[in-house]
Amino acid sequence: MGSERKDVTERKFAAEEGSLRIHQAIARQLGTAILMGVHKPGDLFEGEIEASERLHVSRTAYREAVRILIAKGMLESRPKAGTRVLPRSRWNVLDPEMLAWMFAGEPDRDFIRDLFELRGVIEPAAAEFAARRRTDDQLAVMTRALEDMEKCGLSTPEGRAADQRFHHAILAATHNDALAALASSVGAAVSWTTTFKHRKKLLPRDPLPDHKAVYHAIAARDTAAARSTMVELLRLALADMDIALSEPLRD
């Protein structure tokens, strides 16, 4: 009975980090380790038996975790050759789960810059499409998101969630599944913006005016204004991030 109890606590420990299923917990653990550079591209993993024993999980659970990471382009595995980390260029860095893993740890400043640059490419165009194609329902979602932002403020989790909902709604309103798939990437960038701002304690400029300008342009189906107001919103958001100060954009 003592040993049974020990097993249970060990399992709970393994799954700790957020009450995930074990394979998910292991995938996350390995995934973040890779993202943080503990395992570099080209590195060979230990064998399945050793690895699963060291992590106190069954081989089944460990293998399912590896399958997840393979599906995200981080690993490859072949009999006799073992499982090794793929080059960064093969990683699906825009995968929502992967972005969440990055977001949990200390963010890679270079990648944040990349994400922001992606935002700069995607969102103005998205705003333009949204102004042209949005339905009234989609506009209503933006309305509510903006109201929540105003009510809660960006210092609360609810307010930040509303901010993400607003940008998400714009991408959804493009009626383009490929663009909409980038919602999590854009959302991650949005999230990091406020996080950085908060960390630096530079008490925030009110971001609502920029958002409202975009909103009104989309509501009025004014494509040119939608693009330009979004560009302005991004310019201000970028200015808010100390990344813009400490590392004044390459080129």
Report the interface residues with DNA, using CB under 7 A: 8, 11, 14-15, 19, 21-24, 45-49, 56-61, 63-64, 66, 77-83
State the minimum distance, in angstroms, from the CB of residue 61 to DNA.
Answer: 3
Picked from DNA, a copy of itself, none, the partner binding residue 81 (CB below 5 to 8 A depending on kind) is: DNA
Shortest reach from residue 224's CB to a copy of itself, in Å: 14
CB 67 within 8 A of CB 75: no
Contact of residue 58 among a copy of itself, DNA, none (CB under 5-8 Å per partner type): DNA
Quick one: 146 exposed, middle or buried, by C-beta within 10 A (0-12, 13-18, 19+)? buried
**From the list a copy of itself, DNA, none, which binds 178 (C-beta under 5 to 8 Å, kind-based)?**
a copy of itself
Which residue bears the tokens 């991650």? 188
Closest to a copy of itself by CB, 99 or 233: 99
Please report how close the Cβ of residue 164 comes to DNA at its closest, in angstroms. Answer: 24
241-246: long-range contacts (C-beta < 8 A, 24 or more apart)?
241/116, 241/192, 241/193, 241/196, 241/197, 242/196, 242/200, 242/202, 243/109, 243/112, 243/113, 243/116, 243/196
Which partner from the list a copy of itself, DNA, none does 15 bind, CB cut-off 5 to 8 Å by kind?
DNA
Q: Encoding tokens for residue 104?
A: 């949990």
Alpha helices in the chain (DSSP H): 2-15, 22-35, 48-54, 59-71, 96-104, 109-133, 136-152, 157-172, 177-180, 183-199, 208-219, 223-240, 242-246
Positions touching a copy of itself (CB under 8 A) are 23, 60, 63-64, 67-68, 70-73, 88-89, 91-97, 110-111, 114-115, 117-118, 120-122, 125-126, 129, 132-133, 172, 176-182, 185, 250-251
Contact partner, 88, from a copy of itself, DNA, none, Cβ < 5-8 Å per class: a copy of itself
Least Å distance, CB 6 to a copy of itself, is: 24
